[in-house]
Structure 1
Amino acid sequence: MTTAIREAAVTYETGRSLPEGKLTFEEFLAWCDEDTWAEWVDGEVIVLTPAKRKHQDIKGFLYSVIREFLHYKKTGRVFDAPFLVRLPGTLRRGREPDILYVSNEKLPLLKETYMDGPPDLIVEITSPESLARDRGEKYVEYEAAGVQEYWLIDPDRQEAEFYRLGENGRYRTIAPGGKGVYCTEILPGFWLKVDWLWQDPPPSVITCLKEMGIV
C-alpha cells in the first residue's frame, strides 16, 4: 500500500479494508461503492478526504444552479461526486470530479456508475489536501483527455480560475469579464458571477436564473 493511501486512510473512515496491490479499473469498480469517495490512478486506489462545509456549499450551489439551468435548456446533464470519470487511453485514471457536465452528444459515454471518457466540463473545488493535485496532475490529465473547460475553485483563497481548451489542445486561462462575470462557451446562455461562490449562505438558484434571464 502506498504512502498516499495510508495517509488518506488515517483521515477518512471508509469502514472497509483497502485493497492490496494494483487493481484493474474493473476490479476498482467492484471494490468501490456509492459511499466510497476514491480515485483510481495507475492501478492504485487513492481515498479522498471528506469535504469541508464551505466546499460542500459551493458544490451544492453550482450543481443546483446548473441542473436547474439544464431543466430549461436541455443541452445535457450534470453530475456531482461521487461519480467517476474514466479518462481515455494511456492516462489510466479514474477521477472523481466535484461536478461534471455532459452534453447530449456525449450521453452515450455514460455508464451506470461512471463516465467512460471525458465530459465537456469539470469543476474541482480545492482543499489544502487537494490543491497541488487539482492544479497539477488533474490539470494535465483533463487537458490531455480533451475536457473542454476546467473550473478550479479555491474557497480558502476565494479565487476561481477558468480554463478553456484551445485549438492547439492546450488550456488557456479565461478571465471573468465586467463585474466579475464568467461566461462559459460549454453552456450557451449560462454565466456565473464569481462573487456568488463566496456568499454565505449561497444565493438562491431562482435568483441566479432570473439574473441570467432564464426564468
Structure 2
Amino acid sequence: MKKKTYDEVMKESPVTYEIYANMIDDGNRYEISDGVLELMSPSPTFTHQSLSQELLFILNTSCRNEYIMISSPIDVILSDTEVRQPDLVMIHRSRISIISNRGINGAPDLVVEITSEHSRRRDKVKKRIIYANYKVPEYWIVDLTNFTLEQYVLDGDRYDLVEVYAGEETIHSKTVPCASFSMNEIVRSLPVPPEMLE
C-alpha cells in the first residue's frame, strides 16, 4: 500500500488501522475515533511525562510478575476504526496473546490517561465512553491540576466512578490488586517539583 499524507488520509471514510499504519510519518501523533483521524493534543508537558514515568516505575515495582505495562506511544487497537494511544496500559500476563509488534489488539485490563487542560474533556467524556464500549475493565484518569486519580470500574456497558484518590490515600484496585500507592508518593518522586515549572 502506498503511503499517504495526512491530507490524503483525511479524505478517507472511514479511516481504518491499515490506512493509519501506512501514513507518511509527519512527526505528529494521531488516534482513530470511530473511523475519523484525530490529531492529538500538543506534546505532553514535562510534569505529564515525568509523572507517567514515575507511575510506570511504581507499578512495575509491584506488578511486573503479573502484568505487562507499557507507556505511550503505543497503539491500542480496539477495532479497525478505533485506535487509541493511552498514556499507560496494563495487560495481565495470562492475556499476552493480545500483544503484537503493531500494538495491543483489544482491550487492556487497565488504561490510564494523564489529563491536562487540553485533553480533559476528551479523557473524561469521550474516551470514558469509548473504553467502556470496548470493555476495558478499569480506567484511571490522573488529573495534573490537582494531582488526583479518578478510578472508573466497568459495570455492564458503562463505568462507575468508584473513588477519587488524593494526597496520602492509598490507591487500591480489584482489577489490578498488586497496585498500592498514593498520589503524594508519585508527586514526591517527580524529579522537578511541579510548582517550579509554572
TM-score range, shorter chain: 0.7 to 0.9
After TM superposition, give the deviation of residue 185 of structure 1 in Å. Answer: 1.5
- 2: distance between equivalents of 1:151 and 1:130? 14
Matched, 1:63 2:45: no
Contact conserved, 1:124 with 1:151, CA < 8 A, in 2?
Answer: yes
Which residue of structure 2 lines up, in the alignment, with residue 44 of structure 1? 36
Deviations 1:178-208 (A, max 9, x none): 9411111222232121222333626xxxxxx
Fraction of identical pairs, as percent = 24
Which structure 2 residues correspond to residues 58-137 of structure 1 after superposition, within 5 A?
58-71=51-64, 74-88=65-79, 92-137=81-126
Which residue of structure 2 lines up, in the alignment, with residue 158 of structure 1? 147
Aligned length: 183
After TM superposition, give the deviation of residue 120 of structure 1 in Å. Answer: 0.3
Greater percentage in strand? 2
Q: CA RMSD in A?
A: 2.6
5+ residue gaps, structure 1: 1-15, 203-215
The TM-score with structure 2 as length reference comes to 0.81
- 2: distance between equivalents of 1:83 and 1:37? 10
Which residue of structure 1 lines up, in the alignment, with residue 157 of structure 2? 169
- 1: distance between equivalents of 2:44 and 2:125? 20
Matched, 1:185 2:174: yes
Which residue identity lines up with residue 146 of structure 1 in the other structure? K
Which residue of structure 1 lines up, in the alignment, with residue 196 of structure 2? none
The TM-score with structure 1 as length reference comes to 0.76
Matched, 1:31 2:31: no
After TM superposition, give the deviation of residue 32 of structure 1 in Å. Answer: 6.4
5+ residue gaps, structure 2: 192-198
3-state SS of the aligned residue for 1:118? coil
3-state SS of the aligned residue for 1:136? helix
Which residue identity lines up with residue 26 of structure 1 in the other structure? E
3-state SS of the aligned residue for 2:73? coil
- 2: distance between equivalents of 1:178 and 1:28? 40
User: CA 1:47–1:147 in structure 2 vs 1: closer, same or farther (change >3 Å)?
Assistant: same
Which residue identity lines up with residue 171 of structure 1 in the other structure? Y
